[in-house]
Structure 1
Amino acid sequence: MSVYTRFVSQAVFPLQERLKKHDTVRVRRAMEASQWWPAARLETFQLDRLRAFLSDVSAHVPYYRQVFSAAGFDPATISRVADLQRLPFLTKPVIRANTDALRADDARGLARFNTGGSSGEPLIFFIGDERVTHDVAAKWRATRWWDVDIGDREIVVWGSPIELGAQDRVRQFRDALMRTELMPAFEMSETKLDGFVARIRARRPAMLFGYPSAISHIARHAEKRGIRLDDLGVRVVFVTSERLYDDQRESIERLFGCPVANGYGGRDAGFIAHQCPSGSMHITAEDIVVEIVDASGQVLPSGQSGEIVVTHLATRDFPFIRYRTGDIGVLDDTPCACGRGLPVLKEIQGRSTDFVIALDGTVMHGLSLIYVLRDIPAVRAFKIIQETLTLTRVQVEPGEGFSDRDVASIQSGLQARLGASVEIVVEQVAQVAPERSGKFRYVISKIAG
């Protein structure tokens, strides 16, 4: 670790967190100790946290006060994590119908978030300081598994307007101090890709972080141009927010000359699992309870594939209890060779985002289209199908108040990204259907490849 990295990770970043009134350093240090506990000790710790969390929620969250009463559920009496199964699932429709009642009556300073989720359904929810603190601590712990730390040079390849819209002077100064640089992942034209490759070579980051599709696209472009990326000293590439495919991992590892560390989670469910150098996706068991359920909602044993259901123990201000993520995964009860007692998520399926191609040939991340629809409250669900360069269809499941103005917003928003002359056909449907496999793809390009 360089002197500068040590200065940032041990002084600058902790000071920032204290000013935000986040207890991140203490939480990370506690997690770095608990990760080595035997599985049985972790399970006991998790049960104690779960009992205290549910008791707090029962006292302060109107929605769950009613749910617990109806179910005859007393948090103080739970004796095992499996007692969670007595509670109903939390779904996106439930959150939309009970947003106010899900807020703790003593919550302060909640941040509002809006995400499309894996199905394209717009979802508004809130995050408190405890949740932010614990998520940052979990990510920080996982970063340090790979011999890098806050303060090492980093390039972030991202596309969320939450990050891209926050680049004011204060944020730019902070990023410069932390030695992190943001590259927008929406547009992947030849010129943009040339610029990305040049910037990575000039920056010589110790780590990259971002979408696997975007980073692999940049790496393959460099290969096509005959430009090396494996001589820069990149130690690890962290990927998240999409399913990581084998060909993407192979391309990134071969062309950057370093390992890929996968991460799984979301703004709604939190940081759920991170890959260690031994290859396992470790669940943040200190904060996260993961269940795998079948189509009827029955909990499945390790080794069987089903929907990932998450309870986040640091969400007392706006609780996520038995939250159905819509993603498919498999738990593994085999201990990891790294020696950590953290449970393992063996497989994650069902998350993928296509690229789309604009009329002028620009290749863009599919999220650039998703954000047009997800922030329209009257859109309940959607699917975008790029049929040709000149025709894109949008299936919309309309909610209350959906109007011609919303149709016009969709058309103008997509045309601004794909081309002014591209025909955008908006089709109102009773239900946006999943693929034949049962998975939901919210952006499908029939011409991108």
Structure 2
Amino acid sequence: MSLYQKLVAGLLLPLHEKLKGHDTIAVHNAMEKSQWLSPEQLAQLQLDNLRRFLLRIGSTVPYYEALFARLGFDPAELTSLTDLQRLPLTDKATIRAHTEDLKARGASGLKRFNTGGSSGEPLIFYLGNERVSHDVAAKRRATRWWGVDIGDPEIVVWGSPIELGAQDRVRLLRDRLFRTELLSAFEMSEANLARFVQRIRDCRPAMLFGYPSSLALIADYAREQGVPLDNLGIKVAFVTSERLYDHQRERIEQVFGCPVANGYGGRDAGFIAHACPEGSLHITAEDMVLEIVDGDGTVLPPGESGEIVVTHLFTSEFPFVRYRTGDVGVLGSEPCACGRGLPVLASVEGRATDFVTAADGTVLHGLALIYVLRDIPGVDEFRIVQESLQQTRVEVVATGAVDRSDLAQEIQRQFRQRLGAEVEVPVEYLEAIPREQSGKFRYVVSKVATR
């Protein structure tokens, strides 16, 4: 660690977090130790944290006071993590309907946030300092697994309006001191891609952070232009907020000359899991209980695929209890070779809306259609929108002198083989496919409910 990094980690970061009212440093120090507990010890820590959390919200949060009374639920009697299943699942509709009653009495400094609503369901919610402290601490711990830390030069390719709208003098000064530079994922034009590549070369960052689609796009541009980026000393590329596809991982690793570390979480659900260098996606078990449920809400065992449900144990000012993320995943059953006792999320298969349904009801992962388009010459960019069982629309950016009529017929032929012979497959040609409001990019959007 350089002298400057010691200054940032030992003085600037603690001062910054203290001024914001966060307990990040103490939480991080505790997490550095607890990650090495045995699975059994971590489960006990989870149970203790869960009981404390439920006791608190049961006496300070109007919604849960009423719910616990109605169910005859006493958190003090919790003896197992499975006791949490006595409480109902929470979804976006629940939070929308009870937003004010979900605020703890006496909570101060709550900050209003929202999700981008990529599934058609934007959500307004609130975060307190407790939750933010734990998320920042968990992220820092995961960053350090890869030999980098706060104060190392970092390039961030991001597009959240919250981050981009906060570029005031204080934020710019903080980023400068912490050696973080933000590039806008909203502006992925060819001119900006050239500028981004040059900034990465000039900055020579120790780490990259961003959407996998954005980093892959920058990597593609650099490769096409013959600009080397694998000789800059980049140690790791952290990606999150979108599904990481194999072809994106390969492209980023090849062009930047570094491993890709996948992270999973959300502004609403928190910092859920992050990959270690051994390749396991470790759940932040000190902070949350993660369950996998089927379409009826029944909890599934490790190894079975279902919706990811999280209870964040440090959201007592605006609780997230058994919150349905809308993502599909699988819990692991084997410990990681890295030696950490943190449980493993074997896979995150994408959002429920990343799956499509054939006319006969068969549920297919969006990859079944993505790889069709990736293998057709002349398709540069694309997005698949399943409007109904009877219609799946395809948006295409075509390159070169491709015959658009022939291209459309080939797309329709292959899609109908997978979705059904009678399915309508209109193909729309665009100059560019816009990103979502958040700056993310989604290859597949399904408006058909799957179970």
TM-score range, shorter chain: 0.7 to 0.9
AA aligned to 1:298 is T
Report what 1:332 is aligned to. Answer: 332
Report what 2:409 is aligned to. Answer: none
Q: Distance in 2 between the 1:121 and 1:364 partners?
A: 26
Equivalent residues of 1:155, 1:180 under 8 A apart: yes
Superposed CA deviations along residues 403-435 of structure 1, whole A, max 9, x for unmatched, are xxxxxxxxxxxx9x96xxxxxxxxxxxxx9635
Counting only pairs closer than 5 Å after superposition, residues 9-408 of structure 1 correspond to structure 2 as 9-351=9-351, 387=395
AA aligned to 1:169 is R
Unaligned runs of 5+ residues in structure 2 are 355-365, 371-379, 384-391, 398-430, 435-444
Superposed CA deviations along residues 352-394 of structure 1, whole A, max 9, x for unmatched, are 699xxxxxxxx9999xxxxxxxxxxxxxxxxx977478xxxxx
Percentage of matched positions with identical amino acids = 63
Across the aligned residues of Structure 1 and Structure 2, the Cα RMSD in angstroms comes to 2.5
Report what 2:2 is aligned to. Answer: 2
Equivalent residues of 1:118, 1:327 under 8 A apart: no
Superposed CA deviations along residues 290-344 of structure 1, whole A, max 9, x for unmatched, are 0000011100000000000000000000000000000000000100000000000
1:350 match: secondary structure: strand
Q: 1:117 and 1:84, CA in 2 relative to 1: closer, same or farther beyond 3 A? A: farther
Report the alpha carbon displacement of residue 350 of structure 1 after superposing the two structures with TM: 1.7
TM-score under structure 1 length normalisation: 0.80
1:101 match: secondary structure: helix
1:329 match: secondary structure: strand
Q: Distance in 2 between the 1:268 and 1:20 partners?
A: 20
Equivalent residues of 2:269, 2:325 under 8 A apart: yes
Unaligned runs of 5+ residues in structure 1 are 355-362, 367-383, 390-414, 419-431, 440-449
Q: Distance in 1 between the 2:223 and 2:9 partners?
A: 34
Report the alpha carbon displacement of residue 70 of structure 1 after superposing the two structures with TM: 1.3
Count of residues paired in the alignment: 378
Superposed CA deviations along residues 65-102 of structure 1, whole A, max 9, x for unmatched, are 11111111100001001001100011100000000000
Equivalent residues of 1:8, 1:178 under 8 A apart: yes
Report what 1:392 is aligned to. Answer: none
Equivalent residues of 1:28, 1:140 under 8 A apart: yes
Q: 1:291 and 1:277, CA in 2 relative to 1: closer, same or farther beyond 3 A? A: same
Report the alpha carbon displacement of residue 2 of structure 1 after superposing the two structures with TM: 1.4
Q: Distance in 2 between the 1:123 and 1:216 partners?
A: 29
1:73 match: secondary structure: coil
Q: 1:281 and 1:117, CA in 2 relative to 1: closer, same or farther beyond 3 A? A: farther
Report the alpha carbon displacement of residue 189 of structure 1 after superposing the two structures with TM: 1.5
Report the alpha carbon displacement of residue 215 of structure 1 after superposing the two structures with TM: 0.2
Equivalent residues of 1:185, 1:364 under 8 A apart: no
Report the alpha carbon displacement of residue 55 of structure 1 after superposing the two structures with TM: 0.4
Q: Distance in 2 between the 1:162 and 1:98 partners?
A: 24
Report the alpha carbon displacement of residue 23 of structure 1 after superposing the two structures with TM: 1.0
1:285 match: secondary structure: coil
1:300 match: secondary structure: coil
Deviates more, 1:184-193 or 1:344-353: 344-353
Report the alpha carbon displacement of residue 116 of structure 1 after superposing the two structures with TM: 2.8
Superposed CA deviations along residues 138-189 of structure 1, whole A, max 9, x for unmatched, are 0010011111010000000000010001101111111011000000001222
Q: Distance in 1 between the 2:4 and 2:341 partners?
A: 32
Report what 2:407 is aligned to. Answer: none
Report the alpha carbon displacement of residue 120 of structure 1 after superposing the two structures with TM: 2.6
2:274 match: secondary structure: strand
Q: 1:156 and 1:226, CA in 2 relative to 1: closer, same or farther beyond 3 A? A: same
AA aligned to 1:107 is A
Q: Distance in 2 between the 1:117 and 1:107 partners?
A: 26
Report what 2:447 is aligned to. Answer: 434
Equivalent residues of 2:292, 2:306 under 8 A apart: yes
Superposed CA deviations along residues 259-311 of structure 1, whole A, max 9, x for unmatched, are 11100000000000010011000000000100000011100000000000000
Equivalent residues of 2:53, 2:313 under 8 A apart: yes
Equivalent residues of 2:111, 2:128 under 8 A apart: yes
Equivalent residues of 1:57, 1:319 under 8 A apart: yes
Report what 1:424 is aligned to. Answer: none
Q: Distance in 2 between the 1:309 and 1:266 partners?
A: 12
Counting only pairs closer than 5 Å after superposition, residues 404-419 of structure 1 correspond to structure 2 as none
